[in-house]
Amino acid sequence: MILYASQRANAARLAKHLLNGDDNDHVTVHEIRGFVADTVAEALREAEAVSRGTRCRQFLFSLSLNPPEYADVPIEDFEAAIEQIERKLFLVGQPRIIVFHEKNGRRHCHVVWSRIDTEKLVAVNMAHFKLKLMEVSRFLFLKYGWKMPKGMQRAQDRSPWQLTRAEYRQSVRLAEDAQSLKVLLKSAWEQSDSKETFAHALQERGFLLARGDRRGFVALDITGGVYSLTRWLDIGTRDLKARLGKPEALRSIAEAKAYLSARMSENLTDYLAEAKRRAKDVRAPLVREIRAMVAVQRKEREALIARQQERWARETRARVARLPKGFRGIWHKATGAYQKVRARNEAETRAALERDRQELHELVRSHLLERQELQKTVKVYKEEQKTEALRIRREIAGYVATATEPPQTVKPALAITLKTEMAEVQSKIALLTGDITQLQSALESDLLSDDMRGALRRMIEVTLETLHLKTDTEKIRAARAQEREREYAARQAAYNEYVRRYAELQVKLEEENRKIAANRQFYDVVMNMSYALNGIPRWEISVMPPPPERVLDERAYSAALRETSARELLSTLAKPSRPPEVDPPMATVDLRADVLEAKELLRRAGRRPDDDARTVAPKKARKASAKFNAQWRPS
């Protein structure tokens, strides 16, 4: 779903655009919320009046939601998207207007919010709303499985012929085809390498290079329309100056218009007007058919809405009649039957509302399909008119460049128009079937000779073969068109499935990457743990004192060591060591740990040696070591 949004003012012009029934086939005001007024124009005036109490100039936020042409989007999906956008842009609770437009077989929605918070009299900040809307748009394309535009998938793949909102509106004001104009201007730029070649390429396409009043470089067409080259070529002013030089050397817009008016003679103007009139005559039957179709569709919708309103009133009266009044009503509430009836009425009301919406949606969808079939013919006409307009533009550009005139045009009253010739041919084709029937009946006459009867039979056979061939050709074309549509629908469904699977795999891949990163981080923590924690259990360690009978008597042990000679001590150390038996048997910590681990064990047990012991113990150790060395030193 493509989202176009802007902050704006000028409530009167916006109301005119929202209620424009001439350019749109159908206009439906869906909701007006948060305003005292009950019409679109009055509600927008109310928003403008509220904004006068603030310094906000762009007090409205306008948004259009454009789903793909092939998508069947019910009203509930539009409402869900609007609610999501409100939460994203912090517009929840703001007054809003929702209007649906149907044009050229497509349905889109317009939403207008008032940015003014009436309690605080401040405007809602719309920071980075385009980036936020782009995220919502991508989410909607993936949610409904629609084909996402290439420019939305990756910005580098955006089409160079894509039109901006300003370019499209300018082409509408000048009654020109915006896509064709952009192609002409960009092709002229790509084929040139200097100011002279670019000006010549523009002149061949019916444009004049000039100096703008506000922008540096502009192009003027034969009708006087002004096009900014920085906008239509998507090129910065620095790049334009690098190839075209300074804009001061070019003629101004007024001088360019004077040059065009001097070379646009009356005959050339008539030639251009005659070309536009012919194009209008070609479009006239199709325009009449579209208007007739729209009138019928509007009547069908009005009739459906009238039937729904009548049925709604009848069902509402029936639901109200279920609730008694007076003393019976009090008794009804006291016994609890009132709540049951109320719940039943609410459920029936919701079901009726969904039913009416579904009926209206089915009718709207059938009208859109009918209009889309006619739009195919409109597209063919538009392509033909683009080709014809390009040819006329080149012809007039050649006449203007060479200061010549086209041949004298024939007045419409004296010319046999193409429309008249086509009508005669169609009338002859319509009468052809009746003529063949008369010829077949004439074959039964006895007045005809055999040669004449054979000639008539051959003529009838050739004619029938021609008609059957034409019918078969049309059937083959229709079958091929249906086959192409089915193939396109199958490819589109497969592509949407691939996109959905890709999105799911991307989510799974991100989750796996997060798990791998968490595991790596945990591994690094484990591998880089402090040496004091290696080999020590995670649970709390408590030191159990020995029983009284097994407490070591340090004085007796020291006296025994003094009485023992150095040789006996050496022989004791030379014996193979055997770990002492533990009584009672229990899981103990390895007592042969190094000094740091022993300190850590004492710290966890809540015990630490006295400061005096820290200073005295090394002195005693040194004395004992010196005595031992003196006794062991050989004589």
Q: How far apart are CA 294 and CA 525, in angstroms?
A: 72
Strand locations in 37-82 (E): 60-66
- Which has more confidence, 515 or 419? 515
pLDDT at 85 over 90: yes
Q: Which helix (H) or strand (E) holds 476?
A: helix 450-527
Q: How far apart are CA 299 and CA 26, in angstroms?
A: 11
Mean predicted lDDT score pLDDT of the chain = 76
Same domain, 98 and 224: no
pLDDT at 204: 81
pLDDT at 224 over 90: no
Three-state secondary structure string covering 140-165: HHHHHCCCCCHHHHCHHHCCCCCCCH
- Which has more confidence, 68 or 632? 68
pLDDT at 238: 83
- Which has more confidence, 49 or 532? 49
Same domain, 295 and 440: no
pLDDT at 585: 47
The answer to whether residue 553 is domain-embedded is no
Q: pLDDT-based confidence at 587, cuts 50/70/90? A: very low
pTM of the model: 0.58
Same domain, 167 and 142: no
Averaged over 360-368, what is the pLDDT?
90
Same domain, 80 and 203: no
The answer to whether residue 373 is domain-embedded is yes
Could you tell me the CA-to-CA distances from 65 to 101, 106, 108, 110 in Å, in that order?
10, 11, 6, 6
Q: pLDDT-based confidence at 15, cuts 50/70/90? A: very high
Range scoring the smallest mean pLDDT among 24-28, 142-146, 176-180, 461-465 = 461-465
Looking from the CA of 510 toward its CB, the CA atoms found within 13 Å total 6
Q: How far apart are CA 271 and CA 407, in angstroms?
A: 9
Write out the residue range of the structural domain in which residue 361 sits.
267-402
The answer to whether residue 571 is domain-embedded is no
CATH of the domain at 44: 3.30.930.30
Alpha helix segments (H runs only) across 403-449: 418-442
The answer to whether residue 524 is domain-embedded is no
The answer to whether residue 468 is domain-embedded is yes
- Which has more confidence, 371 or 279? 371
Same domain, 129 and 7: yes
Same domain, 428 and 391: no
Same domain, 274 and 254: no
The answer to whether residue 98 is domain-embedded is yes
pLDDT at 361 over 80: yes
Q: Which of 402, 432, 458 is the last residue of a domain?
A: 402
- Which has more confidence, 398 or 92? 92
Averaged over 498-527, what is the pLDDT?
81
Q: Looking at the 3D structure of the chain, how many domains does it have?
A: 5
Averaged over 37-58, what is the pLDDT?
91
What are the tens digits of pLDDT across the range 126-139?
989 999 999 999 88
pLDDT at 239: 84
Q: pLDDT-based confidence at 151, cuts 50/70/90? A: confident
Q: How far apart are CA 148 and CA 138, in angstroms?
A: 8
What are the tens digits of pLDDT across the range 106-127?
899 999 999 999 888 899 999 8
Instruction: Please name which of 294, 285, 363 lies closest in space to residue 25, comparing C-alpha atoms.
Output: 294
Range scoring the smallest mean pLDDT among 119-133, 149-163, 449-463, 601-615 = 601-615
Q: Which of 130, 158, 186 is the last residue of a domain?
A: 158
pLDDT at 95 over 90: yes
What are the tens digits of pLDDT across the range 53-71?
899 999 999 999 999 888 8
Same domain, 164 and 82: no
Q: Calculate the CA dihedral of residues 292, 296, 297, 300 and round it to 10 degrees.
A: 180
Lookup: tokens for 148: 């996402």
pLDDT at 404 over 70: no
| Strand 2-8 versus strand 116-117 pairing type | unpaired
Could you tell me the CA-to-CA distances from 153 to 138, 168, 490 in Å, in that order?
8, 23, 21
Please count the residues of the chain.
Answer: 635
- Which has more confidence, 613 or 463? 463
